[in-house]
Amino acid sequence: MDYALIESNDLDAGTGVVARGVRRTFGDVVAVDSMDLDVPPGRVTALVGPNGSGKTTLLLVLATLLAPDAGTVTVAGADPRTDPWEVRRRTGWMPDAFGTWETLTCREVLETVAAAYRLPRAGIRARVDELLELVHLADLADRPTQVLSRGQKQRLGLARALVHSPAVLLLDEPASGLDPRSRIELRGIVRDLATAGAAVLVSSHVLAELDTLADRAVFVSGGCTVSVRDLDVASAGPRTWTVRALDAGALERALDALGRVHGDPGVDGAVELELTGDDDAASLLSALVHDDVPVVSLRPSGGVLEQAYLSLTKERQ
């Protein structure tokens, strides 16, 4: 895939997004109670929380589309309340649902957005072509957007967010409706943007969607930030692993002899146990092989994000 258009940009996100004590109510509904959030440049930050936890409301505040009742926010160094145009100039916003001008074609949508951002007229055509290629919509460039599937609309929404080469990217549930291939491509695009220096925030209520997409996760619940985790596998700390051997009995005996606390074998003979990290996994595998246990696989159970989420709910019990 050709990401030249991303790499060639000078993405200066400044301090990215910094939000402190953000609150926003709608009548008696407290959508965002008190949220703190950092979205550093060069990294992909996930905003994770169940439906109704206030993710979209917070994103709308960051994107200058809602005023907060309290708290402070800076986006690429600018305050959305006092300097909304500067924030919009530096920020790409992808809403959860792609509201669009249904009769316009994909190309026309992107050209209209490019003109609204006052991109130099001479460069618009080429820029739009690049973006359509990037999100694999070149074949549908001249079709009205109303014929697009949900996943295709999501991809057009991503292209629309990227038109003006923003340094801060706010994506609300971008993976929802995407097929597996499009999701992998989304991950590639988002990763390249972060590598080029962009500050990327991606929300989702589906943990599995974010696992390989994000470097760090901010967990929210009931309108409040509840935890921030690094998702780097190596630094993820203790987590549950699954080990499976051809001979479940031999595996159990060996684990017991090694003094390893483990669960009961599942139907496939796989056993779960807590390991402290990659080094621990490597030394366990080496010991089992040394003991002639016919090990078939040793892998982390579930994703890093899922484990972080589970350990979080465990802590809160």
Ligand X SMILES: Nc1ncnc2c1ncn2[C@@H]1O[C@H](COP(=O)(O)OP(=O)(O)O)[C@@H](O)[C@H]1O
| Cα–Cα distance for residue pair 311/317, rounded to 1 Å | 10
Of residues 52-91, those binding ligand X (CB under 6 A): 52-57
Binding mask 94-113 for ligand X (x = CB under 6 A): --------------------
CB-wise, 29 or 206, nearer to ligand X? Answer: 29
Of residues 24-53, those binding ligand X (CB under 6 A): 26, 29, 31, 49, 51-53
| Cα–Cα distance for residue pair 199/17, rounded to 1 Å | 7
CB of 47 to ligand X, least distance (A): 8
44-48 and 216-221 strand pairing: parallel
Residue 31 contact, options Mg ion, ligand X, none, Cβ 5-8 Å cut-off depending on partner type: ligand X
DSSP string for 21-87: EEEEEETTEEEEEEEEEEE-TTSEEEEE--TTSSHHHHHHHHTTSS--SEEEEEETTB-TTT-HHHH
CB-wise, 24 or 55, nearer to Mg ion? Answer: 55
* Rg over CA atoms, the chain: 23
Measured between alpha carbons, how far is residue 4 from residues 127, 155, 192, 193 in Å? 12, 18, 10, 11
CB of 209 to ligand X, least distance (A): 14
| SS3 label, residue 265 | coil
Residue type, 1: M
CB of 317 to Mg ion, least distance (A): 26
Per CB under 5 A, the segment of 55-63, 75-83, 206-214, 306-314 that binds Mg ion is 55-63
CB of 22 to Mg ion, least distance (A): 15
CB of 59 to Mg ion, least distance (A): 8
Residue 8 contact, options ligand X, Mg ion, none, Cβ 5-8 Å cut-off depending on partner type: none
Residues in contact with ligand X by CB under 6 A are: 26, 29, 31, 49, 51-57
